[in-house]
Amino acid sequence: MKQGLWLVLSLIALTSLCDTVNQLYLKSAIDSLNFTPTFNIIKIFKFIFKLIGMPRLWLGFSFSLISLCIWLIVLSKADLNFAFSADSMHYIFIALASRFVLKEKMSTRRWLGTGLIMVGIVFVSLS
Amino acid sequence: MFKKKVTLKILLLLIACDILETAIHFLFKKSALAQSSVVVVDIATGVEFFKGILVSPFLWAGLFTVVAIFTIWSMVLTKIDLSVAVPIASFSYILVPLVSIIFLHEQITVLRWVGVFFVLIGVILVSLSSKERLEQSK
């Protein structure tokens, strides 16, 4: 049982990691296009088409697909509410990756907020 | 660098993402349920299952929603940091219990309220942290 728990937890960590990698690729692709937000529909469509033409984005999508497959395996082994609360570790990965890969400035306040969201999600999922 | 403050507009876009994401689960579930008469035991029934799903309007509505979310999410990411956008997108943990109370008249336990409260405070802190950075860079 204990071994099964560790297996499920590492699988959940793996899906979270794959999701994080997907978001990193998406964010870096968007940043590289240097698009100024607008409400001009044609400009938005042009931007989206340019975006889906980037190989980096499809690399990200393939990670997202892997993540989905692992998630389905997790759901076949664990309760949904346990899986959801454990999946909140996703926020830590995003925070760390943003800090160290994208070099975003993480203030104490942002870390605190991210931590509180994680605690909150565990409570919501377990209740 | 353009401004990276979380504005009401961005918050609304993120909430739209959350709502659409819930809609996706609902639409995909609907399209699969419409095929519940087909029991998948071998390749032939599997093909029949997917044929049925492919003509289901729910599936196409779902796929359209996926594209819509991708567009909105990309627009949001052009404006703010990833470490701000992802935590704020956890707003659904607040929305879903509220919707369950108002529309489905469900009972919410105290522990869940505590959780919702934590998420709310967290989202506020993260949103403020992006404003803080803007002020520092001035």
pLDDT greater than 50 at residue B2? no
Angstrom distance (rounded) from CA B72 to CA B18: 11
Is the Cβ of B19 closer than 8 Å to some Cβ of chain A?
A: no
Residue B3 lies in a domain: no
Question: What value does the mean pLDDT take over residues B97-120?
Answer: 84
Q: Could you tell me the pTM of the whole model? A: 0.79
Per the structure, the complete domain to which residue A101 belongs is given by 2-126
pLDDT greater than 50 at residue B32? yes
Tell me, letter by letter, the H, E, C secondary structure of chain B. Answer: CCCCCCCHHHHHHHHHHHHHHHHHHHHHHHHHHCCCCCCCCCHHHHHHHHHHHHCCHHHHHHHHHHHHHHHHHHHHHHHCCHHHHHHHHHHHHHHHHHHHHHHHCCCCCHHHHHHHHHHHHHHHHHHHHHHHHHHHHC
Residue B1 lies in a domain: no
Residue B75 lies in a domain: yes
What are the CA-CA distances from residue B6 to residues B10, B13, B19, B78, B101 (Å)? Answer: 6, 11, 19, 12, 28
- Minimal Cβ distance to B87: which of A36, A114, A126: A114
- Minimal Cβ distance to A120: which of B118, B132, B133: B118
Residue A84: the pLDDT is: 79
Q: Do B2 and A127 touch (CB under 8 A)?
A: no
Residue B138: the pLDDT is: 40
pLDDT greater than 80 at residue B135? no
Per the structure, the complete domain to which residue B66 belongs is given by 8-137
Which is more confident, B68 or B104? B68
Which is more confident, B37 or A68? A68
Angstrom distance (rounded) from CA A116 to CA B11: 19
* Count of structural domains, chain B: 1
ipTM: 0.80
Residue A73: the pLDDT is: 85
- Of A19, A51, A60, the C-alpha closest to B71 is A51
Q: Do B93 and A110 touch (CB under 8 A)?
A: no
Q: Scanning the structure block, which residue is given the tokens 């071994």?
A: A3
**What is the rounded average pLDDT for all residues in chain B?**
80
Tens of pLDDT, residue by residue over A13-51, are 999 999 999 999 999 998 888 777 777 788 888 888 888
Residue A61: the pLDDT is: 92
Residue B1's pLDDT band, with cuts at 50, 70 and 90, is: very low
Residue A77: the pLDDT is: 81
Q: Do A30 and B84 touch (CB under 8 A)?
A: no
Angstrom distance (rounded) from CA A89 to CA B80: 22
Tens of pLDDT, residue by residue over B43-92, are 888 888 888 888 888 888 988 999 999 999 998 888 888 888 888 888 87
- Minimal Cβ distance to A51: which of B74, B125, B132: B74
Residue B4's pLDDT band, with cuts at 50, 70 and 90, is: low
* Count of structural domains, chain A: 1
Angstrom distance (rounded) from CA A70 to CA A16: 10
Is the Cβ of B1 closer than 8 Å to some Cβ of chain A?
A: no
